Amino acid sequence: MCCVCVCVCVCVFVFFTGGQTKPSSIFAVSSCGASSDGFQTLGCVTSGFSPAESLTFSWTGDVTGKVDYPAMKSSDAYTAVSQVQVKNSDWEAKKSFTCKATNQAGSLESKPIQFLRAEPKPATLLLTTPTNAELETGNATFICVASQFSPNKFKFTWKLGDGVLSGKNRQEIVTEEKSTKTFTAVSILEIAANEWIYSYSPVKCEFEHSGSIESLEAKYEVLAVDEIQVDIIPPSSEDMLVSGAGYLECKATGPKGFNGIRWIRNGQELPSTDEKSDAGTSMSAKTKITYIEWSSGTEYICEVKHSTFVQEVKTYPYQRENGCVLYDELVWNNPKEENDCNMALTFIFLFIFSLFYCIGVTVIKVK
For 21-109, CATH gives 2.60.40.10
Across-strand partners of 248? Answer: 287
CATH superfamily, domain 124-218, is: Immunoglobulins (2.60.40.10)
On whether the CB atoms of residues 163 and 204 are closer than 8 A, the answer is: no
For residue 144, the model assigns a pLDDT of 95
66-99: per-residue pLDDT in tens? 998 988 887 788 899 999 988 888 877 778 899 9
Mean pLDDT of 241-250: 90
- Is beta strand 77-87 parallel, antiparallel or unpaired with respect to 64-74? antiparallel
Q: Under 8 Å CB-to-CB from 6, ≥6 apart: which residues? A: none
Domains 124-218 and 225-332 share a fold: yes
Q: What is the pTM of this model?
A: 0.41
For 225-332, CATH gives 2.60.40.10
DSSP string, 108-175: EEPPPB---PPPPBPPEEEEE---HHHHHTTEEEEEEEEEEEBSS-EEEEEEETTEE--S-BPPPEEE
For residue 359, the model assigns a pLDDT of 65
Cα 327 to chain centroid, rounded: 44
Torsion-angle region of residue 148: left (phi > 0), alpha (psi -120 to 50) or beta?
left
How confident is residue 282, by pLDDT bands cut at 50, 70 and 90? confident
15-34: per-residue pLDDT in tens? 344 578 888 898 888 876 65
| Domain spans in the chain, listed from the N-terminal domain onward | 21-109, 124-218, 225-332, 338-367
Q: Is the pLDDT of residue 146 over 80?
A: yes
Cα separation of 305 and 57, whole Å? 85
